[in-house]
């Protein structure tokens, strides 16, 4: 019976095999998990903290916390989603330390003074990013996304850049699914609006009343 059940259930993912080995004390397996996800954790931490040193600390602290608490990981979500949740919390703590005068939270009601209704509709050239070199493009994209509130840019990064599903993003950020969806839409539209001035074709602007 046990054998039949085993055959019927899905084989554990490569990630889960590594997690189970790491839980059993295999350091090499944990190192594999670090190598697999350190770039992602670094990106997420940079986006939230907007500070290189803080992001480096977050990478170290998040993996150390994951290592220390690995036995508490219940395998009900992906390890990566669990790791992202730890990293987001670490990054927010850093941000709060840097900006103690402001409450930094991902679930506060965000008033940005910009609603989701597009105000300027201008067509872009087919590959507008090609009008800039790599360094210029990076600067444009960095400055633009940094202008969004942390709660918006984090949802955008997790969903659209890191490829987490809506459910995984909600789980990682401890937000409701409607909150993730609404923030994602507003983040996407606000980024689009802000990028207009760099990417719009000349004289193609059409202000929407």
Partner 1 sequence: MKCAEFLKELNEYLDGALDERTRADLDDHLAWCHNCYVVCDTTKKTIQIYRDTEIYELPDELRNRLQEAIHAKCQAKKKAGPQSV
Residues that bind partner 1 (CB under 8 A): 27, 30-31, 34-35, 38-39, 42-43, 46-47, 55-56, 59-60, 63-64, 67-69, 116-118, 121-124, 128-129, 134, 137-138, 141-142, 145, 156, 160-161, 181, 184-185, 188-189, 191-192, 195-196, 199, 206, 208
CB of 7 to partner 1, least distance (A): 33
DSSP letters, the chain, are: -HHHHHHHSPPPPHHHHHHHHHHTT-HHHHHHHHHHHHHHHHHHHHHHH--HHHHHHHHHHHHHHHHHTGGG--SSS-HHHHHHHHHHHHHHHHHHHH-TTS---SSSPP--S--SS-SB---B-SSGGGGS-HHHHHHHHHHHHHTS-HHHHHHHIIIIIS---HHHHHHHHT--HHHHHHHHHHHHHHHHHHHHHHHBPTT---B--
Q: How far is the CB of 155 from partner 1 (least distance, A)?
A: 11
Shortest distance in whole angstroms from residue 84 CB to partner 1: 15
**118 vs 147, which CB is nearer to partner 1?**
118
Which C-beta is closer to partner 1: that of 7 or that of 25? 25
Nearest distance from C-beta of residue 1 to partner 1, angstroms: 36
């Amino acid at each position: 019976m046990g054998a039949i059940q085993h055959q019927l259930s899905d084989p554990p993912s490569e990630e889960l095999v590594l997690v189970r080995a790491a839980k059993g004390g295999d350091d090499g397996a944990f190192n594999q998990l670090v190598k697999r996800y350190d770039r992602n954790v670094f990106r997420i931490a940079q986006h939230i903290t907007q500070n290189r040193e803080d992001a480096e600390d977050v990478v170290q602290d998040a993996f150390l916390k994951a290592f220390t608490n690995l036995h508490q990981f219940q395998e009900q979500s992906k390890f990566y989603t669990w790791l992202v949740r730890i990293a987001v919390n670490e990054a927010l703590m850093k941000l709060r330390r840097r900006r103690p005068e402001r409450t930094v939270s991902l679930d506060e009601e965000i008033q940005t003074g910009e609603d989701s209704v597009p105000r300027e509709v201008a067509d872009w050239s087919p590959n507008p990013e090609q009008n800039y070199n790599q360094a210029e493009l990076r600067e444009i994209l960095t400055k633009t996304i940094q202008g969004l509130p942390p709660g918006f840019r984090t949802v955008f990064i997790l969903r659209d850049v890191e490829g987490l599903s809506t459910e995984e993003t909600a789980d990682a950020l401890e937000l409701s699914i409607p909150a993730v969806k609404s923030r994602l839409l507003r983040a996407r539209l606000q980024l689009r609006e802000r990028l207009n001035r760099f990417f719009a074709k000349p004289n193609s602007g059409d202000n929407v009343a």
